[in-house]
Amino acid sequence: MTETTPGWLSSDDLEQARARMPILYVEAVPVRVDDSGEVTSIGLLLRIGPDGTVSRTLVSGRVLHHERVRDALLRHLEKDLGPVALPRIPASLQPFTVAEYFPTAGITPYHDPRQHAVSLAYIVPVTGDCRPRQDALDLVWFSPHEAASAAVQSEMPGGHGFLLRQALGHLGVPH
């Protein structure tokens, strides 16, 4: 079946594109901050993978053709956290890092067996009520210290644990 929404590819077209070129993604680390701007908690999604494994992950998704990065971030935050999460997209869209996922493990800390993908990663404060939608089972809030733990990191496949450590480092959280 072909999607009729502009910017979407059919499953076959997406598979062909993934086999030929890097695909652009955005990733977001949802955080809660106090009045002084200090991060008090970090939200991680709980998902079931295609193989039935349960893992923790970040908000992420493709940037569509003719879609601004800002709009892609908002779309994926709403898709994963719900329509009243009230994300505060940064005024400057400078990512805290660029993650490059390869289908071959070991080239970078990031691995996606489906494709070569380049992801712009952001830390996004959310102030509203988060209720996961789509394929997420739950959203669990961790203290920065808990998020930095080996136990949480081990539940994040494909390099998301490494990406979370980079976000924590960017925030000045020891890990």
Q: What's the pLDDT tens digit per position in 96-105?
A: 999 999 999 9
Whether 6 is covered by a domain: the verdict is no
In 3D, which of 4, 21, 2, 22 has the Cα closest to residue 13?
Answer: 2
Report yes or no on whether pTM surpasses 0.95: no
Whether 133 is covered by a domain: the verdict is yes
**Which pLDDT band holds residue 136 (cuts at 50, 70, 90)?**
confident
In tens, the pLDDT along 15-35 reads 787 777 899 999 999 999 999
Q: How far apart are CA 53 and CA 37, in angstroms?
A: 35
Whether 86 is covered by a domain: the verdict is yes
Whether 12 is covered by a domain: the verdict is no
Contacts of residue 164, defined as CB under 8 A and 6 or more positions apart, other chains included, come to 29, 42, 44, 58, 147, 152, 153, 156
Whether 2 is covered by a domain: the verdict is no
Number of domains in the chain: 1
pLDDT for the residue 3:
46
Helix (H) or strand (E) holding 59: strand 59-62
Whether 31 is covered by a domain: the verdict is yes
Whether 9 is covered by a domain: the verdict is no
- Tokens 């071959």 -> residue: 104
pLDDT at 6 over 70: no
pLDDT at 93 over 80: yes
Q: How far apart are CA 126 and CA 82, in angstroms?
A: 11
pLDDT at 112 over 80: yes
pLDDT, mean over the chain:
91
Domain that holds residue 113: 17-170
- 17 compared with 93, residue with greater pLDDT: 93
Whether 7 is covered by a domain: the verdict is no
- 9 compared with 160, residue with greater pLDDT: 160
Q: How far apart are CA 85 and CA 113, in angstroms?
A: 31
In the chain, what is the straight-line distance between the N-terminal and C-terminal CA atoms, in Å?
Answer: 45
CATH (domain of 64): 3.90.79.10
Question: Percentage of residues in the chain with pLDDT exceeding 70?
Answer: 94
Q: How far apart are CA 44 and CA 50, in angstroms?
A: 19
